[in-house]
Amino acid sequence: MEHRKQMPYTDAVIHEILRFGDIAPVGLPHSTPRDITFRGYFIPKGASIITVVHSALRDKDYFEKPEDFYPEHFLDSNGNFKKNEAFIPFSIGKRSCAGETLAKMEIFLFFTSLLQNFTFRPPAGAKLDLTPDLGATNCPKSHEICAVPRR
């Protein structure tokens, strides 16, 4: 983990995978604890609130190419990693995923270990479809892939 800050492109790719993959496009329902006004809209106490994480992850005001896989969304002009406030794949606020920090660490370790040991490529003639299987979560479609050991 100590090398993560020295690997900005890898970190950007992982963040872009989480953004583009959009695994949980809708958050869990919550309710308002009291009457509130948010951006000019009155929301009464007890109203059900559901966050649409997808809209933030594909917001063209925050992501230059929201419909494309583009790791540069998380890199500044010098190639350094940069945070993006619209990056909320684990939701946001007090009710965000409690395991976010652990998940990000495990994803980084798992991803870098795989890339250090294997080169990945599709089988000859295969066409990859990155459109997810839609449901309560967006699951990736099943694909065959060749994992060639590095020497």
Neighbours of 95 (CB within 10 A): 12
**Cα 79 off chain centre by:** 20
Q: What is the DSSP track for 105-142?
A: HHHHHHHHHHHHHEEEEPPTT-----PPBPSSS-BPPP
Contact partners, residue 103, CB within 8 Å, separation at least 6: 90, 97
Does the annotation place 97 within a ligand binding site? Answer: yes
Distance CA 80, CA 147 (A): 29
Query: Mind spelling out the 3-state secondary structure of 54-68?
Result: HHHHCCCCCCCCCCC
Binding residues for heme: 97
Binding residues: 97
